[in-house]
């Protein structure tokens, strides 16, 4: 049966990619890019994306009351997917822009990669962490059909460190151990961009669309 | 585990067609941009760059509709450049489905534009494109200068200093094209690629001059590039993206296969 998937629009960056990737994996569903809380509440699933600087993102999220909305949507039990800054915004606090308090739905910090960032061999790593990196998966329905250690597309200068290691279902190493996928009940959040991660990313979105959380 | 080096096919688009020239002249047709982009998406390209090569000097805006069509079916990152001069231009391209915009001449004329763009949209979507030409004579200490307007106008800016400044101003990535090498197929200018890769903390894309797969390897290993951009070797079927990746991986470079 056709369902409605709301992509929460708080005016930050490109939601076209997320909605067109969702439309690609769920051609019969209705994909709504919306800033209307009523539409979000009425949707069967919610995607909470985000790109850009966290200070501006959080300012818009608060101004629009979306911190409260995202909390209640997650509490409602429907599947919610956070992407990139949409994941970072769920944490307690970010080091970006001199320090910004976030929604605090998941305990943990968003930290800067550091300068210089070095790999195990002492070579300097570029920041932002930009490009295709491997994700070590912990079993979860959203990884179905995606080979462990598959590559996803990342672009970020800050990374998540969740307080509770049992919530971490995806790790990527880039100079430091990054928590790149978190799962708690009906909530799933990823640092990478599934909508830009070709086959593996589309499969993850497809799994989300079909997820019975 | 590690970050893969990227292969980025580049679509130079003029009047709605993908074209490829030698040193920005002598243009050859390579097809419809949407079809070409779709083909690269399926072939395993890591990103696609779309440059409206006439936009800067003919005051034309990049074709928004083409970007929309590409973005609707290409699920890898898409960078759009050519004639990006204002925050409104950037917003328009991002709304059309671009993930990053490439700023070239406008950065030279108004470096603060890069700052404003990066503050507004985040460094992750701001690529600064640099067209560099070697200006030192044989035997002198190598020096490269920035040129604008498709390589026709010198600026007097030192390419390495400029790249460092742009990274400080909020560029998330540097797209470095060697004007001397562009379309010549004798390999990247590894000197300027290495100098800029060492000078900036952000990723560097090497561009200009690829004629064979060893050139891609050299760009990464000797030039220190994080991504390699090429056009004609892929457009005209000399090599597939998969062949290029397999070749690079066999030389010890981590790739997404």
Report ipTM (2 d.p.). 0.91
> B6-251 — its CATH code?
3.20.20.70
pLDDT in tens, A97-130: 899 999 999 999 999 998 788 988 888 899 999 9
Contact residues, chain A, for B95 at CB < 8 Å: 14, 16
Token pair for residue B241? 């993206």
pLDDT in tens, B119-144: 888 899 999 999 999 999 989 999 99
Active site residue B119: no
The domain total for chain A is: 1
| Sign of the torsion formed by the C-alpha atoms of A7, A12, A16 and A22 | negative
Q: B49: closest CA among B83, B85, B7, B86?
A: B7
Contact flag B124-A156 (C-beta cutoff 8 Å): yes
Return the pLDDT at A33.
95
- Domain of A105: which CATH number? 3.40.50.880
Burial code (b: 16+ CB inside 10 Å, e: under 16) for B90-113 equals: bbbbbbbbbbbbbbbbbbbeebeb
Burial code (b: 16+ CB inside 10 Å, e: under 16) for A129-144 equals: bbbbbbbbbeeeebbe
pLDDT in tens, A26-49: 999 999 999 999 999 999 999 999
Domain ranges of chain B: 6-251
Q: Which domain holds residue A102?
A: 4-210
User: Which of B46, B52, B89, B131 is flagged as catalytic?
Assistant: B131
Nearest to A17 among B4, B97, B227 (CB): B97
Contact flag B203-A155 (C-beta cutoff 8 Å): no
pLDDT in tens, A19-28: 999 999 999 9
Contact residues, chain A, for B38 at CB < 8 Å: none
């Amino acid at each position: 049966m056709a369902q409605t998937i709301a992509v929460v629009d708080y005016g930050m960056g490109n939601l076209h990619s997320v909605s067109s990737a969702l439309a690609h994996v769920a051609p019969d569903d209705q994909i709504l890019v919306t800033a209307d809380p009523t539409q979000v509440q009425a949707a069967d699933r919610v995607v909470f994306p985000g790109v850009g600087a966290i200070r501006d993102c959080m300012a818009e999220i608060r101004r629009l009351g979306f911190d409260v909305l995202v909390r209640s949507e997650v509490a409602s039990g429907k599947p919610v997917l956070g992407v990139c800054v949409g994941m970072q915004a769920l944490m307690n606090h970010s080091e970006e822009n001199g320090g910004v308090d976030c929604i605090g739905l998941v305990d943990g910090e968003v930290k800067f990669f550091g300068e210089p960032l070095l790999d195990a061999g002492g070579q300097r790593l570029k920041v932002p962490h930009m490009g295709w990196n491997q994700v070590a998966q912990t079993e979860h329905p959203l990884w179905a059909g995606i080979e462990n250690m598959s590559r996803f597309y990342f672009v970020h200068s800050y990374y998540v460190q969740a307080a509770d290691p049992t919530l971490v279902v995806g790790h990527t190493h880039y100079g430091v151990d990054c928590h790149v996928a978190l799962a708690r009940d009906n909530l799933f959040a990823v640092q990478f961009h599934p909508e830009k991660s070709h086959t593996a990313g589309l499969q993850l979105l497809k799994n989300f669309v079909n997820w019975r959380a | 585990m590690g970050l893969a080096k990227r292969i980025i096919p580049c679509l130079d688009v003029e009047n709605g067609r993908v074209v490829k020239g030698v040193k920005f002249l002598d243009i050859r047709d390579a097809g419809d941009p949407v079809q070409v982009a779709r083909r690269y998406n399926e072939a395993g390209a890591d990103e696609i760059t779309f440059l409206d090569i006439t936009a800067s000097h003919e005051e034309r805006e990049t074709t928004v509709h083409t970007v929309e069509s590409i973005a609707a079916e290409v699920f890898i990152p898409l960078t759009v450049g050519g004639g990006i001069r204002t925050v409104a231009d950037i917003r328009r391209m991002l709304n059309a489905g671009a993930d990053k915009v490439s700023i070239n001449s406008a950065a030279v004329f108004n470096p603060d534009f890069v700052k404003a763009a990066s503050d507004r949209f985040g460094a992750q979507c701001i690529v600064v494109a640099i067209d560099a030409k070697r200006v030192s004579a044989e035997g002198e200490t190598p020096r490269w200068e920035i040129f604008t307007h498709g390589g026709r106008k010198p600026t007097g800016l030192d390419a390495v200093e400029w790249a460092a400044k742009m990274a400080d101003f909020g560029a998330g990535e540097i797209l470095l094209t060697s004007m001397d090498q562009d379309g010549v197929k004798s390999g990247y200018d590894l000197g300027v690629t290495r100098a800029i890769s060492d000078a900036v903390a952000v990723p560097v894309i090497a561009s200009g001059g690829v004629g064979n797969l060893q050139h891609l390897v050299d760009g990464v290993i000797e030039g220190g590039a994080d991504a390699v951009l090429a056009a004609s070797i892929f457009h005209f079927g000399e090599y597939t993206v998969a062949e290029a990746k397999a070749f690079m991986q066999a030389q010890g470079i981590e790739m997404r296969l």
